[in-house]
């Protein structure tokens, strides 16, 4: 699509295969970030490779914007439903952009609570920097799973981090929906040479300003 910026795709893949080197409860892993992780849930394996992926993007690729997208938690479908993916980000502007991009392209997105100062304590470990799964499954587990990934970049990292959990909308029955492709094209379309993507991108130079959006939304509310 004629993307004009420096773009990297990092594939973070995990296979649940039993073998002599499989992860076991109480194992302690040293991740690529240098942080140690105590394994208290062997089914929470995807976040381990995602944490390595975002740390690699930060340390080795020098990325300014890191977006990770994964079928991460079954709780996502409970939090935002089977039609909306869940978005968690350290940047309010990008949260709004993800929601708008989803509406423009049909890959719908809804925000999760971003509050590491209250939720990251769910991963407290006595023997490592953190555990790999939450202590309380009733305390926004989808948001916490995203925070686990973010912690391997660092909550004080000055760049933009966006996490999109697509566990539910990627399938309908036994079939895949292809969710996520249109969302990424819409979200980053302003940096491409495609006129249609420039038009639908909420971050493109041809998009409406926040003030114009607010004025239009206000008019829409008065009409309803």
Q: How far apart are CA 197 and CA 191, in angstroms?
A: 9
Tell whether 172 is covered by a domain. yes
5 Cβ neighbours under 8 A, 6+ residues apart? 191
CATH number of the domain where residue 40 is located: 3.40.630.10
Cβ atoms of 106 and 187 within 8 Å: the answer is no
Residue 146 main-chain phi, psi, to 5 deg: -65, -40
- pLDDT tens readout for residues 117-130: 999 999 999 999 99
Say how many residues make up the chain. 224
Domain with 167 in it: 27-200
Q: How far apart are CA 186 and CA 198, in angstroms?
A: 8
What is the number of domains present in the chain?
A: 1
- pLDDT tens readout for residues 50-96: 999 999 999 999 999 999 999 999 999 999 999 999 999 999 999 99
Q: What is the pLDDT of residue 211?
A: 52
Tell whether 205 is covered by a domain. no
Tell whether 215 is covered by a domain. no
- pLDDT tens readout for residues 37-62: 999 999 999 999 999 999 999 999 99
């Amino acid at each position: 699509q004629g993307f004009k910026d420096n773009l990297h795709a990092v594939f973070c893949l995990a296979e649940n295969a039993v073998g002599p080197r499989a992860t076991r409860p109480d194992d302690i892993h040293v991740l690529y970030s240098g942080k140690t992780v105590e394994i208290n849930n062997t089914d929470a394996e995807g976040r381990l490779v995602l944490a390595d992926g975002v740390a690699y993007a930060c340390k080795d690729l020098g990325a300014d914007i890191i977006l990770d997208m994964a079928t991460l938690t079954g709780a996502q479908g409970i939090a935002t439903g089977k039609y909306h993916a869940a978005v968690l980000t350290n940047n309010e502007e990008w949260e709004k952009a993800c929601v708008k991009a989803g509406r423009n392209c049909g890959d719908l997105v809804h925000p999760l609570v971003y509050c590491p100062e209250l939720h990251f304590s769910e991963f407290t470990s006595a023997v490592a920097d953190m555990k790999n799964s939450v202590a309380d499954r009733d305390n926004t587990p989808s948001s916490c799973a995203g925070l686990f990934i973010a912690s391997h970049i660092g909550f004080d990292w000055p760049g933009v981090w966006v996490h999109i959990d697509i566990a539910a909308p990627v399938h309908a029955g036994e079939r895949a929906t292809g969710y996520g492709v249109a969302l990424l094209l819409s979200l980053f379309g302003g940096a491409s040479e495609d006129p249609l993507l420039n038009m639908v991108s909420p971050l493109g130079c041809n998009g409406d300003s926040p003030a114009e959006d607010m004025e239009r939304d206000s008019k829409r509310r008065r009409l309803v």
